[in-house]
Amino acid sequence: MKLFVGLDVSSFDIKVCFLNGEGEQLASFTVSNDLPGATQLRDEILKTAKDLDVHTLYIGLESTSVYSFHPSMFLHNDESIQALGGQVLVMNPKQIANFKKSYSDMDKTDEIDAFVIADYLRFGRLPMSVVKEEQYVALQQLTRARYQIIRQITQEKQRFLQYLSYKCNTFTEEVESSVFGKAMMDLFLENYSLDELSSMPLEDLADYLRKQGRNRFPDAEYVAKSIQKAVRSSYRLDKVMEDSIDTILGTSITLIRTFERQIKELDKSIERIMKGLPQTLQSIPGIGPVLAAGIQAEIGQIERFEDETKIAKYAGLYWRKHQSGRFTADDTSLSRNGNQYLRYYLVEAANSVRRHVPEYKEYYAKKYDEVPKHQHKRALVLTARKLVRLVDALLRKNQIYTPERSVHT
């Protein structure tokens, strides 16, 4: 007999529905969303499986961030459930919502939602994801945190440049050196006025840049000249305004440096976990530890996906067709569904790989020339789609990259 268990999870409880292979409801109840509740749920599943001689067991729940994490991992790792061959499947809430539309006469209640999830499992025609192993979940938390902090750094740097234009409106035009280098940041923290920088002896400013930049400037005197040229040509602020801008710039520098330290700590933790995973993706030229970790964290164990097409769809790397009668639109948008993090890391990886691997460089150029609009975005996404085949092959076979093998991907 087949047993399908639908779980509708909230922060405080879990609505449960048991269905058999014919769609008959065997049980419906509620347990608390905590360890005692999950234990009770496990025991009810085992009792029903024993009483009815169950040979196929599927347990399904929607992906609801932290709410679904603990019950899914508890049931997935339970040895008694594993002994029955039970599979815990985590599904996209959008797919469940679309599936539920076929039940037009149903109300919206948690109990009914649990039934719909169980029935969705019973039909088993739509894509589902097996729960990730904990090492991948841990890696995913780190890579997603890193992704968010990188976005915060980008936003903070944009804000810094905005306020820098108040203090010295020609700085970014005149000074070729990076504004965000250590020496430049230290210089801004000194709170020099423009007049003070303008009148500072050139050699003193150049020495300051050499010292703070740890002699990394190829021509510190040239940079010092460009700084003084910028401050002399910029508008002047009154003292109150300039003090306020200096305070904001100092705060912004502190935030940026704090974020950068956090990134270094996250990278250390990511590196520790990656040592326990296959290192096949880093063998692809252009893919370093960060991109490899981001891709592997979102994919998890490769066995979760039947083939590379499922990975591509999971990442949302496809365009929707727009067709009506004999008309087919040439300009269609990329799907907004799918895992945004996996899509981000695959696209970033494709952009890097195309610079290092001739095959991908040629493919990108070919796709770029095929259309008159959105050339770069389209070519890059299609290159990422091609890269998925290589990623799938290397992870599934646990092999390292060779140019000969990539020809067949």
401 Cβ neighbours under 8 A, 6+ residues apart = 280, 283, 284, 285, 390, 394
Angle between helices 375-397 and 358-368 (to 10 degrees): 150
Q: Is the pLDDT of residue 107 over 70?
A: no
Question: Which range among 85-99, 239-253, 391-405 has the greatest average pLDDT?
Answer: 239-253
- The torsion angles phi and psi of 358, rounded to 5 degrees, stand at -55, -40
Structural contact between residues 324 and 348, judged by C-beta atoms closer than 8 angstroms? no
In a domain, 266, yes or no: yes
Average per-residue pLDDT in the chain? Answer: 89
Assigned token pair, 8: 């509708």
What is the distance between the alpha carbons of residues 151 and 129, in angstroms, rounded to a whole number? 28
State the pLDDT at residue 100.
84
Structure tokens belonging to residue 381: 């996404």
3-class DSSP state of 407: coil
Residue 152 binned pLDDT confidence (cut-offs 50, 70, 90) = very high
What are the tens digits of pLDDT across the range 261-271? 999 999 999 99
Instruction: Evaluate whether 91 touches 125 at the Cβ level (below 8 Å).
Output: no
250 within a domain of the structure (yes/no): yes
Report CA 290 to chain centroid distance, whole Å: 11
Asked if pLDDT for residue 91 goes beyond 90, the answer is no
pLDDT(200) > 70 = yes
Instruction: Give the distance, in angstroms, between the CA of residue 277 and the centroid of all CA atoms in the same chain.
Output: 18
- 54: three-class secondary structure by DSSP: coil
Query: What's the CA gap between 313 and 305, in Å, rounded?
Result: 10
Q: Among 232, 150, 236, 218, which Cα is nearest to 178's?
A: 218
Q: Which helix (H) or strand (E) holds 104?
A: none
Question: Does residue 319 surpass a pLDDT of 90?
Answer: no
pLDDT tops 60 at residue 3 = yes
Round to whole Å and give the CA distance between 372 and 83: 57
pLDDT in tens, 165-188: 999 999 999 998 889 999 999 999
Q: Final residue of a domain: which of 232, 250, 271?
A: 271
pLDDT the model gives residue 35: 96
**Inside any domain, residue 276:** no
Mean pLDDT across the stretch 81-104?
86
Q: Provide the 3-class DSSP secondary structure of residue 30.
A: strand
Flag whether 36 is in a domain.
Answer: yes
pLDDT of 333 reads: 57
Q: Taking the chain, what is the end-to-end CA distance rounded to the nearest angstrom?
A: 41
Q: Which of the 8 DSSP states describes residue 334?
A: B
Angstrom distance (rounded) from CA 8 to CA 18:
12
The CATH number of the domain where 21 resides is what? Answer: 3.30.420.10
Q: Give me the pLDDT at residue 407, please.
A: 44
The answer to whether 263 and 142 are in contact (CB under 8 A) is no
144 within domain boundaries:
yes
- Look at residue 318 and tell me whether its pLDDT is greater than 80: no
Q: Which domain holds residue 179?
A: 138-271
Q: How far apart are CA 242 and CA 188, in angstroms?
A: 12
pTM for the predicted model, two decimal places: 0.75
- Please indicate, yes or no, whether residues 106 and 170 belong to a single structural domain of this protein: no
Please state the rounded mean pLDDT for residues 280-289. 94
**End position of a domain, from candidates 100, 131, 162:** 131
**Do 150 and 252 belong to one domain?**
yes
State the amino acid at position 234 in one-letter form. Answer: S
pLDDT exceeds 50 at position 323: no
306 and 251 in a common domain: no
Which residue, 78, 102, 131, sits at the end of a domain?
131
Model pLDDT, residue 148: 94
Would you say 409 and 338 are in contact if contact means Cβ atoms under 8 Å apart?
no
Per-residue model confidence (pLDDT) at position 95: 80
Q: Are 18 and 3 in contact (CB under 8 A)?
A: yes
- For residues 81 and 46, state if they share a domain: yes
Domain match, 288 and 205 both? no
Per-residue model confidence (pLDDT) at position 136 = 87
Return the percentage of the chain with pLDDT > 70, whole number: 91
Percent of the chain residues topping a pLDDT of 90: 71
E strand or H helix at 354, and its extent? none
The per-residue pLDDT for range 32-78, each reduced to its tens digit, is 999 999 999 999 999 999 999 999 999 999 987 688 889 999 999 99
Backbone angles phi, psi at 371, to 5 degrees: -130, 155
pLDDT for res 406:
52
Q: Are 32 and 144 in the same domain?
A: no
Q: Count up the domains in the chain and report the number.
A: 3
Q: Six-digit token pair at 247?
A: 């305070």
